[in-house]
Structure 1
Amino acid sequence: MKFKFENLIIWQKAMDLGEDMNTLSKKFPKDERFNLLSQLKRAADSIALNISEGSILQSGKEYRKFLGYSIRSIAEVVTCLHKARRRNYIKLDEFDIFYKNCFDLMNMTIAFRNKIRE
């Protein structure tokens, strides 16, 4: 038995991204614990959370709104990655991999949202 959202590729990829960001955050200095690190983890986790929360709604309009929250959270993760790169917390090759994952997930989420009727 499964919830419908568990079959969504965007939810699965969002779950993976959240775990990746949690692992990546362990490389950050301790003084970032309540700043960039916290923001990165919350934004990454909120992507999948909003996809799942929106999926239980009856209204397409409301679901599109929650997918919009997910899209904005992806943008937050990308900005946190840029900050982490500028502060030398992550290497360029790591940044490139995570950036591409975010880019792909954003495009997939936008495409999925565009298919949902209000």
Structure 2
Amino acid sequence: MNTFKTQYYIDLKVWKRSIFLAKDIYVLTANFPNEERFGLTSQLGRASVSIAEGAERRSVKDLKRFLDISYRSLCELENQLCLSNLSKLIGKEKFQSLEIEINEIQKMSYALMNSIKTEK
């Protein structure tokens, strides 16, 4: 069985950007109202963490599956931030800067996923 050398996943630019995005989301949602603690705050936190976690996979197939889940979590995160902006929980400028970062990470994830050869 082919194994993908993932022991250095923390050196991947996409992982580094994802972990800093997750930190930014946690800092941002710390200022959300208490009534959003189990709503948007929780959803944003879970989505942002799922993007960065799990990068150390045992096989190429697992890694590609993780990258696909990560890509979908980025889409979910973008939608939740859009709702946060429309609900006036975050400002337009903050939303736009996070949206740009999300789109960049999506491109990086997609490129990495396409560059990995699938096991046979």
Are 1:37 and 2:41 an aligned pair?
yes
Question: Which of 9, 12, 29 in structure 2 is aligned with 1:5?
Answer: 9
Amino acid at match of 1:97: S
Amino acid at match of 2:57: I
User: How many percent identity over aligned positions?
Assistant: 29
| Matched residue, 1:57 | 58
Higher Rg of the two aligned structures: 2
Deviation at 1:26, TM superposition (A): 1.5
Q: Is the 8 A contact 1:48 1:70 kept in 2?
A: yes
Deviation at 1:61, TM superposition (A): 2.0
Amino acid at match of 1:57: R
The whole-number CA distance in structure 2 between the counterparts of 1:41 and 1:33 is: 10
Gap regions ≥5 residues in structure 2 = 1-6
TM-score for the superposition, normalised by structure 2: 0.90
Gap regions ≥5 residues in structure 1 = none
| Matched residue, 1:14 | 18
Q: Is the 8 A contact 1:27 1:90 kept in 2?
A: no
Q: Is the 8 A contact 1:5 1:11 kept in 2?
A: yes
The CA RMSD over aligned residues, in Å, is 0.9
Aligned residue for 1:62, secondary structure, equals helix
TM-score for the superposition, normalised by structure 1: 0.91
